[in-house]
Structure 1
Amino acid sequence: MKYKEGINVLNPVKFENTVIVDFTVPNNIEKFFKDQRFYVEYDSNINNIPDSILVIPLLSNILPVAWFSGVNVIVDEVDEKFYNIIPNIQAGFKNLYPKVKMESKLIAKKIIKNEMKESGRSAQLFSGGIDSLATYIRRIGEKPNLFTIWGADVNLYDKDSWEKVKNYNIKIANKLEAQVFFIKSNFTLILNTRSLGEEYGHLINGFHWWAGVQHGFGLVGLCSPLTYVKEITTFYIPASDTAEFNIPWGSHPLIDNEIKWANTEVVHESYDLSRQGKIHLISRFIKENKDDLQIRVCWQADHNGGNCSKCEKCCRTIVGLLVENIDPNFHGFKVTGDFFSNVKNNILKDFWAYDTIPYWKDIQKKIPLNIRMVDGRHRDFLFWLKNYNFDKHIKPSFHTKIIKSIGRILSVFSKKFIKKIINLKILMYLLSSDFLINTFNFL
């Protein structure tokens, strides 16, 4: 079946553990796509998976583009439950981004009712970070399978980083006595997120397409064939935030909790826990089990899949662990002698994005009132942080605006490439070195 209008999804092609789906797009939205061939590779055989399930990984990543653009998506066949939840997913995005019309449809020639054995098994997305570790610990009695995706925070060209992440997660899975499965896909590479940002960024509060739209629905959809193979009935996606933060985000209960296919239901897990609350949960697990559990939070690709211990996210996690009396040096981080002065300097000079302030204020609330009880090596810093007024940073500072502007301009280039071609001596003369370094960290 082929229509003249809309995105036409062709039938999936299977090769043991890989599925390839080609699609065509109308001329008016071609600019939003870099490739019209999608693939996803599993470490399990998917030959017996019905086509109506195998199209879900692609659909979950291109449907939002179609909804924002006002075009239909046409597919030969699709799973019944997945088809029926589409209006609910659209309503979720509409609630987050009211200016988007969300009027286009998924058109299917066949709607297939798929069923599998009610096994009671569960699985979750797993990166090895705070959110995913907290989810596993809360659901440890179920021993959920762990699904890690190559092509998300580690790009497909960075094999060295991926090997480190893979080995890292295998070790964690062995320690937790869990099974880990790996998925590889070009799902981020088929989209031109720069063009999507230019066209729709103002509708999604200036967020990058990945953060504001794709990463919830898109990641979960990739896992559908594997859940079918493993007879997974509950699939957890770890929450990034809580209702208290009230920030529209691509992964949100309004979206994730509506996703279904066959006998599988998705749960947006730990939405009731703040990031520091999750760190507290992980810290308690470490203390009770005398565990050297490793934590991986850093998304910067030039650190070989580990933690740089310098970026805002690493620093925030390190401080969060210290507040819980956990030594980060034993859990994937390196705290150097100048760590506290660097963190303080970045906060004071507003080099870190102002939208991370709610996380720092969350840490503030957990710092003991009697700071004398805290380890002396970081007592002075925590005393300063406990009493620091973050409210003056609520609006973007001049530095933040400039950093974001430079980030948008340079985002089309590789950070490594930029660092090679820019004469740092000249820029150091024009800008302070701290400002330059934090500009790159923001990219």
Structure 2
Amino acid sequence: MSSTPSSSAIRIDRIDTDGTDLECTITCTDDLRRFFGGEPFRVSYDVSIEDVPEGVLAIPVLSQVCPVAWATGADVYVPEVDETFAHALGDVEETLLSLYPEFMEGGTLYAGETIDVEPDLESGDGETPSDSGLLFTGGVDSTCSYIRHREEEPTLISIRGWTISPSAAHDDRWDDLQSRVQNFADERDLESQFVESNMLSFLDHPMLLAHFKRFVDGGWYSSVGHGVGLLGLCAPMAHARGMENLYVAATHWDGIDLEWGSRPDIDDHVRWAGTQCHHDAYDLTRQERLDVIADYVREHSPELQLQTCNDRMDGNCGHCEKCYRTAVGLRLSGLEPTDHGYPFSETNYHDLRRSLENGEWILGEDERYMWEDIRNRVRETEPESAAEREFFSWLETADLGELVDESEPPLSHRALRAGARNTPHGVYTTLYPAWNAAKNASRRLGL
């Protein structure tokens, strides 16, 4: 980090709390205005944060703006911040700079005061505090992490704002997720917490993509921001609840080196007074995580339901790539998919192969690694039917690299992004609605 102030800057101006709600306003230099949506940053919790120190209240917004600052060489100014988290940001910055040397420039955090916050010894409701928390969706990864840490009786934390938008159009999806997580928690006598934020509309995600998509494999938040971003959102709630450990389940595993914003060398650095974050189950492949789940099902929870669908939140459609992949993985771990939320029969093996061969799904490197993981297990497994034998035989020799979509973005998308990158902010602000409409139209037309 440079010790000389940058001409580009982001300032945290105001942090307000109202019961369970947090709101922050920022200002920034003109060159950075395009990266922010123009609305205050907001988070809502299920626990009062009125007594949380301001140095901890600053963590959620800093977790969103600092990666943007590092990508643009900007400095960040905040009146007060928890000293432990300030050091954590330096460690996370070092990882992102090494991960994305093509565009990450770094910056300096200037705090009016760094404070050594004392952890809460009592939860916000006066009851015994929760010693640990787990970001939880009910999918394979987070369910495996729950099983690994169930002796700690972790509070299950679900977040709205990334894969489920805070817009009214996603209310049903959020209701479905809350219902499933709450039922899972109730059946195991666990606490739950639900967090809602506007972090993606607070950031101008399309503009971040316009500038940096050419350097990352996915979206800005998935490739850069979501590790520190999601964990940082939890800081006021974790402080109020007295959480010493906060777990986030790994998506990838040791040996997979993909551009992804949640990794051990990011998440394990995130910490604040009284709380250490952990990137969990990185030592297990996805199939091995399903083995952990299978053992738990056989010993403790025969009716366990998983939720991984890309298309639905009120159950699994059974026909998207992720549903098929999970169903096959469950079978390889000795479970019947239909018992755990996935309609699946022998005829689906034929449909699955046809869809993969015909390129009906846009698959990335993540999916290639996951199908390779399944293939490794297939080579150790005796098929139980002719249909399974035929699919396993095909999978053993299939060129999984050919299933990955490595095509360049359509020329129209590249032109739109280039135009957005090179447009002065004042002009961009006027033209953005038209630019966004054109982008969406080109997507609908398949351009």
With structure 2 as the length reference, what TM-score do the two structures score? Answer: 0.85
Root mean square deviation of aligned Cα = 2.8
Q: 2:274 aligns with which of 263, 274, 295?
A: 263
Aligned residue for 1:181, secondary structure, equals strand
1:34 equivalent to 2:43? Answer no
Paired letter, 1:105: T
1:191 equivalent to 2:189? Answer no
> 1:284-363, aligned counterparts within 5 Å?
284-300=295-311, 303-335=312-344, 339-352=348-361, 353-355=363-365, 356-363=367-374
After TM superposition, where is structure 1 displaced by more than 3 Å over at least 4 residues in a row? Answer: 117-120, 404-414
Cross-structure match for 2:239: 228
Q: 2:114 aligns with which of 100, 111, 114?
A: 111
CA contact (8 A) 2:317 2:342 kept: yes
Deviations 1:358-399 (A, max 9, x none): 110101111264524x2x3752354334423335527x56xx
Deviations 1:207-231 (A, max 9, x none): 2101101111100000001110110
Q: 1:19 aligns with which of 18, 22, 36?
A: 22
> 1:125-274, aligned counterparts within 5 Å?
125-157=135-167, 158-204=170-216, 206-274=217-285
Q: Which runs of 5+ in 2 are unaligned?
A: 1-5, 122-128, 418-434
Structure 1 290/18 Cα, relative in aligned 2: closer, same or farther at 3 Å?
closer
Aligned residue for 1:287, secondary structure, equals helix
CA contact (8 A) 1:298 1:305 kept: no
Bigger drift between 59-68 and 84-93 goes to 84-93
Q: CA deviation at 1:92?
A: 0.8
Aligned residue for 1:228, secondary structure, equals helix
> 1:340-419, aligned counterparts within 5 Å?
340-352=349-361, 353-355=363-365, 356-367=367-378, 369=380, 371-372=382-383, 374=384, 376=385, 378-393=387-402, 396=404, 401=407, 405=410
Paired letter, 2:264: P
Paired letter, 2:118: E
With structure 1 as the length reference, what TM-score do the two structures score? Answer: 0.85
Paired letter, 1:71: A
Paired letter, 2:145: T
Give distance in 1, aligned partners of 2:90 and 2:407. Answer: 37
Deviations 1:66-95 (A, max 9, x none): 110111111110101011222211111112
Give distance in 2, aligned partners of 1:370 and 1:264. Answer: 42
Q: CA deviation at 1:101?
A: 4.0
Deviations 1:126-151 (A, max 9, x none): 11111111111011111111110111
Aligned residue for 1:12, secondary structure, equals strand
Bigger drift between 152-161 and 216-225 goes to 152-161
Structure 1 82/197 Cα, relative in aligned 2: closer, same or farther at 3 Å?
same
Paired letter, 1:311: C
Paired letter, 1:173: A
Structure 1 330/391 Cα, relative in aligned 2: closer, same or farther at 3 Å?
closer
Give the aligned length.
411
CA contact (8 A) 2:81 2:114 kept: yes
Aligned residue for 1:98, secondary structure, equals coil
Give distance in 1, aligned partners of 2:394 and 2:203. Answer: 41
CA contact (8 A) 1:154 1:299 kept: no
Cross-structure match for 2:426: none
Give distance in 2, aligned partners of 1:293 and 1:68. Answer: 42
Give distance in 1, aligned partners of 2:182 and 2:151. Answer: 19
CA contact (8 A) 1:121 1:144 kept: yes
Paired letter, 1:184: E
Q: CA deviation at 1:120?
A: 7.9
Q: CA deviation at 1:407?
A: 11
Aligned residue for 2:215, secondary structure, equals helix
Deviations 1:238-294 (A, max 9, x none): 111112111121001111111111111111111101111111111111122242111
